[in-house]
Homo-oligomer: A and B are copies of this chain.
Amino acid sequence: MSARPRAVVLLSGGLDSATAAAIARSEGFDLYALTIEYGQRHSVEIECARAVARALGAVRHVELRVDLAVFGGSALTDCIDVPKDRDLGSAEIPATYVPARNTVFLSLAMAWAEAARAQDIYIGVNALDYSGYPDCRPEFIEAFERLAALATKAGVEGARLRIHAPLIRMTKAEIIRRGLELKVDYGLTRSCYDPDRAGRPCGHCDSCLLRAKGFAEAGVKDPAF
């Protein structure tokens, strides 16, 4: 058995979570990678998550289906158009918001962490170059950590679950630079909310715009293109 501590890492197949996973590895953790299939419209990101987990040497990779689409309420799971060429400075929360997504994701990560005796969870949320989702903010992450201390047997027995959100105060360019230092292969990642049938990014959704801005500001060509 490995003597390295274990971390559950939420891995979506996108740029941010790949970087968060690489940071977890660089901080000495064995990676327990968790990908949630939540009824998003396309499966290209699941394939990317697999490739990233493999590239980072994850000890285990679980793909778990949780069909949030049954509840409706999001352009990512419903028949609602994904907004294009939006003003990224807008304070409005866009239609791509998935109700309670990160709470669901973190609670599932917590379930695995407790079962696997891990005390660390990594999530690639970002509150700077982002779409204004409430569950990407530092105060949300802190509230979840407080909940975790009360929610589990491990917590009651004194183990303190730490939720690491290492990207939360970084710009997209800073994330990309950090990932490149850690040899993340961004060619394996995809970020588009609305790819075509062949998996090609639309270039106009928030996620494409933020990714393009990040690579431009980092002065690097996006290897996924």
- What is A's interface to B at a CB cutoff of 8 Å? 62, 64-68, 70-74, 93, 97-104, 106-108, 110-112, 114-116, 133-135, 137, 139-140, 143-144, 146-148, 150-156
Q: Once the chains bind, are A135 and B111 in contact (CB under 8 Å)?
A: no
Q: How far is the CB of A20 from the nearest CB of chain B, in Å?
A: 19
| A146-B149 Cα distance, complex, nearest whole Å | 14
Since A66-B108, A137-B150 are in contact, a sample of 4 more A-B pairs with Cβ atoms closer than 8 Å, ordered by chain A residue number, is A71-B116, A74-B115, A99-B114, A135-B152
Which residues of chain B are within 8 angstroms of A139 by Cβ–Cβ distance? 150
Closest B residue to A141 using CB positions: B150
Query: Would you mind naming 23 contact pairs between A and B with Cβ atoms under 8 Å apart?
Result: A62-B70, A62-B71, A66-B108, A71-B116, A72-B116, A73-B114, A99-B154, A100-B110, A100-B114, A100-B151, A102-B151, A103-B147, A103-B152, A104-B104, A104-B107, A107-B107, A134-B151, A134-B153, A135-B151, A140-B151, A144-B147, A146-B146, A146-B147
Q: Name A73's contact: one of B102, B115, B146, B156 (CB within 8 Å).
A: B115
Instruction: Say how many copies of this protein the assembly contains.
Output: 2
| A98-B112 Cα distance, complex, nearest whole Å | 10
| A22-B152 Cα distance, complex, nearest whole Å | 28
| A151-B143 Cα distance, complex, nearest whole Å | 9
Given A71-B112, A100-B151, A111-B68, check contact A156 B134 (CB 8 Å): yes
Q: Once the chains bind, are B97 and A108 in contact (CB under 8 Å)?
A: no
Q: Once the chains bind, are A67 and B64 in contact (CB under 8 Å)?
A: yes
Closest B residue to A133 using CB positions: B153
Tell me which of A93, A103, A140 has the highest count of chain B C-beta atoms within 10 A of its own C-beta: A103
Which residues of chain B are within 8 angstroms of A111 by Cβ–Cβ distance? 68, 71, 98-101, 103-104
Q: Once the chains bind, are B137 and A143 in contact (CB under 8 Å)?
A: no
Which residues of chain B are within 8 angstroms of A144 by Cβ–Cβ distance? 147
